């Protein structure tokens, strides 16, 4: 059984989909759709680039839900926060980044509590 990866953004569950392209004529590594609660990540990215892209879209989601539109539209700020969070999460032995493609041998849901920075893991298979 394959589960669709999701992330929790301020209490709203977003589906994460790996897609061969975001837009046909313009390179985009990722995109968030607030109405559909969906994040698309380009499936040709390296694992690390994919993680940063997911965090980038999550930062967009947080800022949108907080109605911080000026910050939401500031790509330098959003990317800086995504890279900073990625470095923190990768550098902490307790932290983990939500898995995009859970391996069959350890299917579990990983969540990062954005308020505390703590992670929880829930066995789903």
Shortest distance (Å) from residue 78 CB to Zn ion: 5
CB nearer to Zn ion: pick between 48 and 75: 75
Beta bridge partners of 120: 111
Shortest distance (Å) from residue 52 CB to Zn ion: 11
CB nearer to Zn ion: pick between 78 and 85: 78
CB nearer to Zn ion: pick between 78 and 89: 78
Shortest distance (Å) from residue 85 CB to Zn ion: 14
Residue 20: CA atoms inside 13 Å, Cβ hemisphere, count? 1
CB nearer to Zn ion: pick between 62 and 107: 62
Shortest distance (Å) from residue 82 CB to Zn ion: 8
- Under the rule (CB under 5 A), what is the footprint of Zn ion? 75, 78
- The total of other beta-carbon atoms located within 10 Å of residue 56's CB is 25
* CB 85 within 8 Å of CB 79: no
* CB 14 within 8 Å of CB 98: no
């Amino acid at each position: 059984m394959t589960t669709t990866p999701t992330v929790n953004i301020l209490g709203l569950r977003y589906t994460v989909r790996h897609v061969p392209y975001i837009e046909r004529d313009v390179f985009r590594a990722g995109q968030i759709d607030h109405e559909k609660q969906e994040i698309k990540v380009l499936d040709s990215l390296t694992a690390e680039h994919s993680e940063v892209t997911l965090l980038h879209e999550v930062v967009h989601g947080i800022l949108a839900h907080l109605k911080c539109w000026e910050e939401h539209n500031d790509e330098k700020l959003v990317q800086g926060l995504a890279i900073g969070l990625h470095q923190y999460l990768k550098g902490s032995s307790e932290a983990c980044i939500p898995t995009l493609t859970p391996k069959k041998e350890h299917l579990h849901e990983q969540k990062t509590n954005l308020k505390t920075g703590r992670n929880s893991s829930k066995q789903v298979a």
